[in-house]
C-alpha cells in the first residue's frame, strides 16, 4: 500500500497534502501531550514494531506480497490520533531513507495507512469491546482497520486513469481503474493481509496486557 | 531497566531478527511496481511513472545496502528504522518536557 512517486496525479497528492497537514499537526500535538517518561518505552516500541512489521512481506497466491501495519495496536492503547502520528512517522522514515513509498505522495500514504487504519481500528474496538471475547475484538479491529486503508488506496489508485491520458490515449499516472484496483487491493487485504494485521493485533495486545499487569503486580507487592 | 522495558526490548529484537523471513516473498506488493515490471505488463510505461524521481537522495533504496547480502541488509535496515523511530520519539518527549 506504499504508493511510489509518479503513480498519482499532482491534483491527487496536493489535495491529500492539504487534508493531511492539519491532521498531522493535531496528531503531533496529541502525541506530545501523551508522551512522558512512563509512556515513552511502550509508545516508541510499538511505533518501531510498526516499522519492522511492514518489512515482513507475506507472499500470497498470484505472485505478489503485502504486510501488516501495526496501527490497531497503537490505536487501541493510545487513541487514534497518536496512532496515526506514529504510523505516519514510520511511513516518513520509510519514504525518506528507504524509498519505500514516495515522499511526494507521503500525505496519501499517511491518510490511508496512518489515519484511516488507526481511526477505523479504534472505533471498531470501542464499539465491540465487552460485546465479544477480547481476542476476537482485537482481531476484528486490526482486520477492519487495514481493510479500510486498502479501500482508500484502491480508490485513489483506481481514479488515476481518469485524471490524465497522453496523446496516444495511454494513462499518464497509475494505469488500472477501479474495476481492477478494488478487487485486487481490497480483496487481498480482506483475505490475507487483514488476517496478518488481525493476528498481529491479537498477539501483541495479549503480550502488552501481560507485561503491564506484571508491572502492576510488582508495584503492588513493593 | 524495569522488567517491563526488558520484555519490550526482547520483543523488538525478536521482531527485527525475524525480518529476513520477509525476503521469502519474491513478488513485490501489487501496485508498487518498478518501471520494468510495468513495461512487461502493459508494453508502455505511463509518462509520470517513467519520469518519476525521488525528491531526495534515497540512502538505502529497497532496504538493500550496497555490498551487503540481502539478509544482512534487511537486518541492518530494520535496526536502523527502529533506532530512528526511537530518536524522533525521544526528541518529541524532550519537546514535551520543555513545554511543561
In this complex, is the C-beta atom of B98 within 8 Å of any C-beta atom belonging to chain A?
no
Which one of 1.10.357.20, 1.10.10.10, 1.10.1760.20, 3.30.310.80 gives the CATH number of domain A10-55+65-221?
Answer: 1.10.1760.20
Is B37 in contact with A71 (CB distance < 8 Å)? Answer: no
Q: What is the mean pLDDT of chain A?
A: 95
Q: Is the pLDDT of residue B90 over 80?
A: yes
Q: Cβ–Cβ of B46/A172 closer than 8 Å?
A: yes
Q: What is the pLDDT of residue A133?
A: 96
CA–CA distance from A100 to each of A5, A92, A93, A221, B63 (Å)? 10, 9, 9, 47, 8
Q: Is A123 exposed, middle or buried (0-12, 13-18, 19+ CB in 10 A)?
A: middle
Q: B35 to chain A, minimum CA–CA distance in Å?
A: 11
A22 CB-side CA count, 13 A: 3
Q: What is the pLDDT of residue A215?
A: 67
Domain around B20:
3-99
Closest CB to B44: pick one of A104, A170, A173.
Answer: A170
What value does the mean pLDDT take over residues A138-159? 98
Residues from chain B that touch A203, judged by Cβ atoms under 8 A, are none
What value does the mean pLDDT take over residues A187-209? 97
pLDDT by residue (tens digit) across B10-31?
A: 999 999 999 999 998 888 899 9
Question: Percent of chain B at pLDDT above 90?
Answer: 81
Q: What is the pLDDT of residue A1?
A: 92
Cα B90 from Cα B100, distance rounded (Å): 16
User: Domain ranges in chain A?
Assistant: 10-55+65-221
Q: What is the pLDDT of residue B28?
A: 86
Cα A138 from Cα A43, distance rounded (Å): 18
Q: What is the ipTM of this complex?
A: 0.95
Residue A3: pLDDT band with limits 50, 70, 90: very high
Q: Which grid cell is A137? A: 475484538
In this complex, is the C-beta atom of A53 within 8 Å of any C-beta atom belonging to chain B?
yes
Tell me which of A52, A82, A165 to substitute to probe the interface with B (most B C-beta atoms closer than 10 Å): A52
Residue A217: pLDDT band with limits 50, 70, 90: low
Q: Which grid cell is A82? A: 497518536
Residue B66: pLDDT band with limits 50, 70, 90: confident
Q: Which residue from B minimizes the CA distance to A157?
A: B31
In this complex, is the C-beta atom of B80 within 8 Å of any C-beta atom belonging to chain A?
yes
Q: B67 to chain A, minimum CA–CA distance in Å?
A: 16
Q: Is the pLDDT of residue A136 over 60?
A: yes
Per-residue b or e along A150-162, where b marks 16 or more CB atoms closer than 10 Å to that residue's CB: bbbbbebbbbbbe
Residue A213: pLDDT band with limits 50, 70, 90: confident
Residue A203: how many other CB atoms lie within 10 Å? 14
Cα B92 from Cα A175, distance rounded (Å): 40
Q: Which residue from B minimizes the CA distance to A5?
A: B52
Collapsed DSSP state (helix, strand, coil) of residue A8: coil
In this complex, is the C-beta atom of B85 within 8 Å of any C-beta atom belonging to chain A?
yes
Q: Cβ–Cβ of A172/B95 closer than 8 Å?
A: no
* Number of domains chain B contains: 1
Three-state SS letters, B25-68: CCCCECCCCCHHHHHHHHCCCCHHHHCCCCCCCCCCHHHCCCCC
Q: What is the pLDDT of residue A221?
A: 60
What value does the mean pLDDT take over residues A17-29? 98
pLDDT by residue (tens digit) across A30-89?
A: 999 999 999 999 999 999 999 999 999 999 998 899 999 999 999 999 999 999 999 999
Amino acid at each position: 500500500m506504499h504508493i511510489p512517486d509518479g503513480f498519482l496525479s499532482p491534483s491527487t497528492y496536493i489535495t491529500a497534502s492539504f487534508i493531511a497537514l492539519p491532521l498531522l499537526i493535531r496528531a503531533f500535538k496529541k502525541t506530545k501531550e501523551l508522551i512522558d517518561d512512563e509512556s515513552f518505552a511502550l509508545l516508541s516500541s510499538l511505533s518501531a514494531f510498526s516499522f519492522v512489521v511492514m518489512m515482513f512481506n507475506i507472499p500470497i497466491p498470484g505472485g505478489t506480497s503485502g504486510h501488516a501495519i501495526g496501527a490497531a495496536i497503537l490505536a487501541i492503547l493510545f487513541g487514534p490520533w497518536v496512532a496515526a502520528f506514529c504510523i505516519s512517522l514510520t511511513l516518513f522514515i520509510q519514504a525518506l531513507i528507504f524509498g519505500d513509498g514516495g515522499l511526494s505522495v507521503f500525505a496519501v500514504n499517511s491518510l490511508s495507512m496512518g489515519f484511516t487504519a488507526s481511526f477505523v481500528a479504534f472505533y471498531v474496538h470501542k464499539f465491540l469491546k465487552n460485546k465479544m471475547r477480547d481476542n476476537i475484538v482485537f482481531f476484528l479491529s486490526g482486520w477492519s482497520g487495514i481493510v479500510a486503508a486498502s479501500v482508500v488506496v484502491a480508490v485513489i489508485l483506481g481514479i488515476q486513469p481518469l485524471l490524465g491520458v497522453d496523446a496516444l490515449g495511454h494513462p499518464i499516472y497509475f494505469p488500472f481503474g477501479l474495476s481492477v484496483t478494488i478487487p485486487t487491493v481490497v480483496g487481498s487485504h480482506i483475505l490475507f493481509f487483514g488476517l496478518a494485521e488481525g493476528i498481529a493485533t491479537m498477539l501483541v495486545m495479549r503480550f502488552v496486557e501481560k507485561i503491564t499487569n506484571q508491572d502492576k503486580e510488582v508495584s503492588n507487592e513493593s | 531497566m524495569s522488567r517491563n522495558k526488558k520484555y519490550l526490548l526482547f520483543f523488538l529484537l525478536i521482531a527485527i531478527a525475524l525480518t529476513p523471513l520477509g525476503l521469502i516473498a519474491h513478488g513485490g506488493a501489487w501496485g508498487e511496481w518498478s518501471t520494468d515490471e510495468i513495461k512487461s505488463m502493459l508494453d508502455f510505461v505511463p509518462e509520470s511513472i517513467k519520469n518519476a524521481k525521488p525528491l531526495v537522495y534515497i540512502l538505502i533504496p529497497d532496504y538493500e545496502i550496497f555490498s551487503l547480502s540481502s539478509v544482512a541488509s534487511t537486518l541492518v535496515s530494520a535496526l536502523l528504522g527502529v533506532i530512528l523511530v526511537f530518536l524522533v520519539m525521544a526528541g518529541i518527549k524532550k519537546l514535551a518536557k520543555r513545554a511543561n
